[in-house]
Amino acid sequence: MSYFSDIYNGIKTLLTGMSVTGKYFLHSQKGAITQQYPDNRETLKMFDRFRGEVVMPHDENNEHRCTGCQKCELACPNGTIEIIWDRQVDPETGKKKKMIEKHIYHLGMCTMCGLCIEACPTDAIKWAQNFENSVYDRTTLTRVLNKPGSKLMPGVED
């Protein structure tokens, strides 16, 4: 007689399964969990710790905090950061000093691991929150973080 009992149990479990999806169907007007991405671009705000892209913040008179100590370059596992520096005479102290010329950042090779920002002694680089990093031509992925003509902020030592 298990023939009819397992038909009955089978149908009972099928119906309870359908009740779950039915419940969702009836409450579907409560709104879907999916985000309408291209429409909600203005309102969409990522978390402030979101790792979008490494940037070097500059203050109003175009000064940054990077002393060119290359700690981030050593910490980076993928060789994403290259720092081009040369020794120049520092106008105030007259001594030869390591001045940063270009802080090159290959976004294409970056794995967003955050070790460079961890290793930077002077907090020169920060995470930006933008996630739309796709580009048409790969060379634009290689970025120079320090703006042209920017100088080191006074009072930031190695």
Q: What secondary structure does DSSP assign to the chain, as a single string?
A: -HHHHHHHHHHHHHHHHHHHHHHHHHGGGG--SS--TTTTTTT----TT---EEE----TTSEE------HHHHH-TT--EEEEEEEEE-TTT-SEEEEEEEEEEEGGG-----HHHHH-TT---EEE-------SSGGGGEEE-SPTT-EEPTT---
By C-beta, is 14 or 135 nearer to other proteins? 14
By C-beta, is 48 or 86 nearer to other proteins? 48
Smallest distance from other proteins to CB 22, Å: 7
Residues 15-74 that bind other proteins (CB under 8 A): 16-22, 24-25, 28, 32-34, 36, 46-47, 49-51, 71
Choose one: 55-63, 83-91, 106-114, 135-143; the region binding other proteins (CB under 8 A): 106-114
Residue span 2-21 as binding mask against other proteins, x where in contact by CB under 8 A, dash where not: ----xx-xx--xx-xxxxxx
